[in-house]
A and B are shown apart, each in its own frame.
Chain A
């Protein structure tokens, strides 16, 4: 009961922010003749600014939520210490072993398959798919992933894309374990980048650099080519374009929704009971993130494969994207914010400000005419 209360009050706290920013600017009903006071009173705008400084819905999307400490009690503390010893001294080495074993098995099969079966494309692809699914299972095992999959498993057929909310790169591993998806992903540096350009490339994954606008066109073209192919792996897109902390969803990029394909939504919800699965790429590298997961008790998560959606007649790709975002947010219990996740890297366009200016200007002019 108390848990229910906190979540509903949390919801109320978030509400005003979202409602304030979806309609255009501050709404002031014109009432009566314009007076000096109305022009000089800038308090609504100032209040909005101060509100944004004190708390804002965008920053909240990327806030890591460390698990609640529960060891501040004389009775619990020894227990907690024991937990640390078990997690770091026993579980962690065991998991490293499992992962190493996984890699040995994977690499010793993958390279022969990749090089020797050049003639038999079909068999090679099939084996490679199986192997990638295998190594992903090893990864999931290395954090004792307790994952519940709901709904029908994705199948391979042309003209469909899968879209999911994005919390961490482990989303990809969790989904890949079940089905060998081809994914659209930001190109990463380091060992992840190496994996991307060697192994994952064979699945038909598409890489891009977020900062290069030229890449956008190339990716759009590759996307279109990929979904047309009948025996290509199903395509997985994280339309948020950035990792969000699994409490919110930011706006979906419309790319996946204007391909003219069936869109199959996937909702992923992590249970934060043992570890926060959000990868805060500003604060930690992916390796540290993985280590954090590997030293926790378990990663608990639910995955829902949801009803495939099609563009309705008269619907724009943006409306379609919003509709799918709705479906995912409802299923995974996420709150929607009207922000583009790329604002982490850039400033909002002046369009938003102009909308506020326009509504203020209109009320001023309207009230000026009233006598």
Chain B
């Protein structure tokens, strides 16, 4: 473990920093690299879905299956880019963009009623009935000035979430 950090050269770190828009400091990148190697058990240079699921705290997360779709087979650069939305240096725009991407399952830049319903289903499971879920979502959508068949784009998400105190920060432990 001790030698892995020295495997990253200054160039590597700068390249990764550039890739994630400088949202992480050099030390944080080194820490993340150590973590990456720890998660990449078989040492093949990318982390598989199975390796992510071996972290119990991640596996019990209601959105883990959905996030796995974005996470499966990430190499280190992509891994850092994925986490960059959670940096304290990331802009609100970046954070909202990330949330939007989680919603936008098919990646067409528009979030449909069903895509929102899918997330809500992940979050509430069997504790709200399917019918009630639909009702709740329809109701709050209408109150916010949208309809059941509206397609939400990223600007809408920015409008809805942008002014709130979005707390989406994870500190990278640096030693």
Choose from A43, A54, A63, A368 the contact partner of B172 (Cβ within 8 Å): A54
Q: Is the CB of B170 within 8 A of A51?
A: yes
- Chain B, residues 84-96, CB within 8 Å of chain A (1/0): the string is 0110000000010
Tell me, rounded to whole Å, the shortest Cβ–Cβ distance linking B164 to chain A.
Answer: 6
Q: Is the CB of A59 within 8 A of B38?
A: yes
Is A44 on the interface with B (CB-CB < 8 A)? yes
Task: Enumerate A60-93 residues with CB–CB distance to B below 8 Å.
Answer: 63-64, 66, 69
**Which residues does chain B contribute within 8 Å of A44, judged by CB atoms?**
167
Q: Is the CB of B120 within 8 A of A39?
A: yes
Report how far A354 CA is from B172 CA in the complex, Å: 28
- Nearest residue in B to A47 (C-beta to C-beta)? B168
Is B2 on the interface with A (CB-CB < 8 A)? yes
**Which residues does chain A contribute within 8 Å of B137, judged by CB atoms?**
39
- Chain A, residues 327-371, CB within 8 Å of chain B (1/0): the string is 000000000000100010001100011101110111011001000
User: For A43, A66, A343, which residue has the most chain B Cβ atoms within 10 angstroms?
Assistant: A43
Is A22 on the interface with B (CB-CB < 8 A)? no
Contacts A360-B123, A361-B125 given; does A50 touch B86 at CB 8 Å = yes
Report how far A58 CA is from B57 CA in the complex, Å: 8
Is B126 on the interface with A (CB-CB < 8 A)? yes
Q: Is the CB of B99 within 8 A of A43?
A: yes
Report how far A56 CA is from B60 CA in the complex, Å: 12
- Nearest residue in B to A17 (C-beta to C-beta)? B57
Is A34 on the interface with B (CB-CB < 8 A)? yes
Q: Is the CB of A42 within 8 A of B99?
A: yes
Is B13 on the interface with A (CB-CB < 8 A)? no
User: For B58, B95, B116, B157, which residue has the most chain A Cβ atoms within 10 angstroms?
Assistant: B58
**Which residues does chain A contribute within 8 Å of B170, judged by CB atoms?**
47, 50-51, 54
**Which residues does chain B contribute within 8 Å of A48, judged by CB atoms?**
57, 61
Choose from A41, A59, A339, A353 the contact partner of B125 (Cβ within 8 Å): A353
Q: Is the CB of A348 within 8 A of B146?
A: no
Is B11 on the interface with A (CB-CB < 8 A)? no
A-B residue pair count with CB separations less than 8 angstroms: 156
Q: Is the CB of A365 within 8 A of B62?
A: no
Q: Is the CB of A35 within 8 A of B58?
A: no
Report how far A360 CA is from B120 CA in the complex, Å: 10
Report how far A282 CA is from B38 CA in the complex, Å: 12
Tell me, rounded to whole Å, the shortest Cβ–Cβ distance linking B135 to chain A.
Answer: 9
Contacts A39-B140, A53-B52 given; does A360 touch B119 at CB 8 Å = no
Is A40 on the interface with B (CB-CB < 8 A)? yes
- Chain B, residues 59-74, CB within 8 Å of chain A (1/0): the string is 1111110010001000
- Nearest residue in B to A339 (C-beta to C-beta)? B56
Is A36 on the interface with B (CB-CB < 8 A)? yes
Tell me, rounded to whole Å, the shortest Cβ–Cβ distance linking A244 to chain B.
Answer: 14
Is B166 on the interface with A (CB-CB < 8 A)? yes
**Which residues does chain A contribute within 8 Å of B169, judged by CB atoms?**
47
A-B residue pairs in contact (CB < 8 Å), sample of 6: A35-B144, A37-B164, A43-B166, A53-B52, A54-B86, A339-B56
4 tightest A-B CB contacts, nearest first? A361-B127, A357-B125, A52-B57, A36-B144
**Given A36-B141, A39-B137, A47-B170: 13 more A-B contacts, CB < 8 Å:** A34-B140, A40-B157, A41-B164, A45-B63, A45-B123, A49-B61, A52-B55, A53-B58, A54-B172, A55-B173, A56-B56, A352-B56, A357-B125
